[in-house]
Structures are given as C-alpha cells and as structure tokens.
Amino acid sequence: RFCGSDGPNSVEITSRRGLKIWFRSDRRLNDVGFTCTATVAGTVVTQPPVVTNPPSGRCVCGKANRGTRIVGGQTTEVNEYPWQVALVSRGSNGVYCGGSLINDRWVLTAAHCTQSGVSQVLLGNHLQSQTDSAERRINVKRVVDHPSYNSRTLDNDFSLLELTTPLNLDSVDPEIRPVCLPTASNPSQYENVPSVVSGWGTTSAGGNQPNALRDATVTTMSNSQCSQSYGGGAILNSMICAASPGKDSCQGDSGGPLVRNVGGYFRQTGVVSWGSGCADSRFPGVYSRVTNAINWITSTSSSGTTCAPP
C-alpha cells in the first residue's frame, strides 16, 4: 500500500493469477493526478500493427475511363475499367480468368483460378486478339490463397497475386489504375444495389469468349434471398449474390471484379466465383464478398502503395 509521495518504484511481481491495481481517493484535495505504468514480460506476444503504405501523390483509385456509354451486357469502352486484369499463360493473350489491380504490387482474383499456378497477367488490354498500346505484361512473383479457402464449397474464394515489377501509378497512363477497396464497417450497404461485373468470359453457357472486354449491370441481394435459389447451405458468409434479367458473369469471368459506383468512383464488392449456368433467371451469380475478407486482403497486400479515391 502506498500513499501520497510514497509510491512504488521498479516493483517486480511474479504471479500467474494476474495483477490488480486500485487507485482510491479521499476526495479532500484536488491535485494534478498520478501516473502508473505496468508492463508484462515473457507471457504476452503483441502482434505488430498492419502498416499499409499511404496513398501516393497523384494516383487515384476507382476512376473509370467512361464517356456517355450506358453500361450493361455489351462491349466496354477501351480501358474503361483500368483496374481490369487478365490472367494468361506465358506468351499468350488468351484470358482464362480475370482479376483486379488493388495497388501498385498486388492483384486480387479467385483462388479457384490459381490452383494450377499463375505465370503472367495483362494490364491495360482490351482486345484478346492484339497487343494494345497501353498493355503491360507482368510476371507473377507469388500467389497467396486465402488461408480458409475451401475448394469444395468455394468458401473464401480469394487469391492475391504479387507482381514481380511494381507499377509507378503516378506516371502510368490512366489506362492502368487500381480499383478502390470497400470499407468493412457496414457490409450491408453493398446489398440490393446496382453493380457492374466485367470480363472476357463467354456470353452464354458453353459459348465462345468475346474478343473485347464486356460488362453487365447486375443487382446484388441479401444472402437469405440468394439461399432461396440455391438452398442447402451453399451460400456462405464469404459470398454475395447478384442477378439481372439476361445478364450475368459466365465461364472465363472467374476472378474478375464486381464493383459499385460510389459517388462517381468504384469500390470492389465482389470477386466472380461460381453459379449455376449463366444468366439463368432461377440462379443468381455468386461472388466472393470482399468486405468479408478485407482485413486479410489489406494485410497481405500491405507491401504495395495504395491510391486514394478521386
């Protein structure tokens, strides 16, 4: 027990039952207060905070290169979605999965796209049949699947690709620009809203892939509504569904972005994951819910430099 100026100094206590510290005042005098510092050594390991490099000076995220075109089930403008990434085999322009650029070093895609490895990605491309002027072909240094990815249920169907060469987003043309990530504070704000999905996937189940990048506007929904279509516990918390009459993602779109326009710029809400058929009115498209994995995404990709919304 200590009182007044008679206080503890460098007191060491060994106990496995914990330590309680009380401060009791008789309330007779007002004074400047007191300080007490207690530290624990040898039993608690504190994880360092995740440090994300701050936004760089001039680059912006989520800004589309769009004129007056109305979005929905058709060919996009050239480099309209500058965060769109194509996963390709070495030396080929044939797109087998999509992805999205989230900072200068990392691409977000679906884990089911990476199980056989990923060698290269294309950024700034529009047509599969040719090399576009803004196109960048970059090797993939590392593939990081979500630690809770389940290949059977497609739970947490996320993968991050680290590029061998980081992009200088302050100097590259606007044909290459990252998408903004969502906030995790209120995931429900991304339900029941129009969203855009883009990719080089087939335009019908079992059909051919288009030459040019296409997009479609779909509307997201709650998981309870989506479960009415799929049933059997297929729709998990790591998923979000979206649908629109005659519009959907399809084969080859996997890993690509589902984005929402938020005040003139786009945040990514989903990653194309799975579904029953394509544009089947009975079955919505199923996407991996980005807000559900946002902490893993930001911590894993923290070596990259982010861009701020416009």
Other CB atoms within 10 Å distance of the CB of residue 223: 17
Catalytic residue among 195, 249, 254, 288: 254
Partners of 261 in beta bridges? 266
User: Which residue is associated with the tokens 């799975």?
Assistant: 274
User: Which residue is associated with the tokens 């996937």?
Assistant: 201
> How does strand 95-101 pair with strand 194-199?
unpaired
157 labelled catalytic:
yes
Partners of 275 in beta bridges? none
> How does strand 136-145 pair with strand 120-123?
antiparallel
- Which of 98, 295, 85, 53 minimizes the C-alpha distance to 177? 85
Rounded to an integer, what is the distance from CA 247 to the centroid of its chain?
23
146 labelled catalytic:
no
**Helix, strand or coil for residue 214?**
strand
Alpha carbon of 46 to those of 32, 37, 41: distances in Å?
32, 17, 11
Cα–Cα distance between 110 and 74 in angstroms, integer? 23
254 labelled catalytic:
yes
Catalytic residue among 104, 146, 155, 157: 157
Alpha carbon of 307 to those of 99, 150, 268, 310: distances in Å?
18, 31, 14, 9
Buried b (16+ CB within 10 A) or exposed e, 244-259: beebbbbbbbbbbbbb
- Which of 231, 302, 235 minimizes the C-alpha distance to 274? 235
Catalytic residue among 100, 112, 146, 301: 112
Mind telling me the catalytic residues? Answer: 112, 157, 254
